[in-house]
Amino acid sequence: MTPKVHFHALGRAAYTPSLALQERFLKQAVDRKKMRRDAGLEGKDLSGNPDLDLPENHLIFVEHDHVLTLGKTGDIGHVVASEQRLKELGVEYYPTNRGGDITYHGPGQLVGYPILDLEQFYTDIGKYMRMLEEAIIRCCADYGVKTGRIEGLTGVWVNPDSGLAARKIAALGVKCSRWVTMHGFAFNINTDLQFFDLIVPCGIGDRGVTSLSIECGHSVDTEEVKKSVLNHLGDLFQWNLVEGSRN
């Protein structure tokens, strides 16, 4: 059976309501799994019975207003700007329950939040992370930008084999509860990279950050990039994507 995934294109949105939407979808999925377990229905497809069918999967695409988010294992000391400076720039700050350290989200950046029941795909969180990275790697290749991975450092990098000259173009941080994921990736497209000067991005101080537009040498069409990432995710996960909602 091909898993169904509901796609939600939120456009530009603040962080708080987007987080609340993720948490709602996560809770619905976890509650459904508990109910199926209690009924002895784990692993069974009961399509047509909305009360006992498999948990719903969701994918959210959003561009956030300026915000810094800190992972549960992150170091608040990696925010190098003062509270006053953040206030002047209109940058919010939120501690989160995802993995990873501090990162920045803002206009011109594609943030993807898959809320997936991995038991409908595969129960391997490492493979899941690599698949998210691979979708962005393939998207960058569509624009003639060669990217890859660095062993021990999560994310997607330009010139990954060049040591300290490597530049991060996409960051990842996820949470998984009963094999249901939340949070996801942040892909710099036309992002104003000056906002990364407010932090030590992902706690990595010896390598820089970049964007697709910087690497291409010109601004790129954000909507076209989103379509590319969406297509590659579909190829990799082999899901049945259906339109969700836009708000």
Q: What is the mean pLDDT of each run of 10 residues along the chain (247 residues)?
A: 93 96 96 84 62 86 96 90 95 91 95 97 96 98 97 94 93 95 98 94 82 98 97 97 70
Enumerate residues 6+ apart whose C-beta is below 8 A from 245: 8
Whole-number Å distance between alpha carbons of 111 and 124: 22
| Residues sharing a CB contact under 8 Å with residue 57, sequence separation 6 or more, in sequence order | 3, 4, 5, 6, 29, 114, 115, 116, 117, 120, 239
Residue 33 belongs to domain with CATH number: 3.30.930.10
What is the per-residue pLDDT for 49? 62
pLDDT in tens, 63-117: 999 999 999 888 999 999 999 999 999 999 999 989 888 999 999 999 999 999 9
Given the residues 139, 140, 176, 202, the one annotated as active site: 202
Domain holding 211, by residue range, is 4-243
Residues 6+ apart with CB under 8 A from 188: 108, 109, 169, 170, 209, 210, 211, 212
What's the domain count of the chain? 1
139 classed as catalytic = no
**Cα–Cα distance, 111 to 12 (Å, whole number):** 10
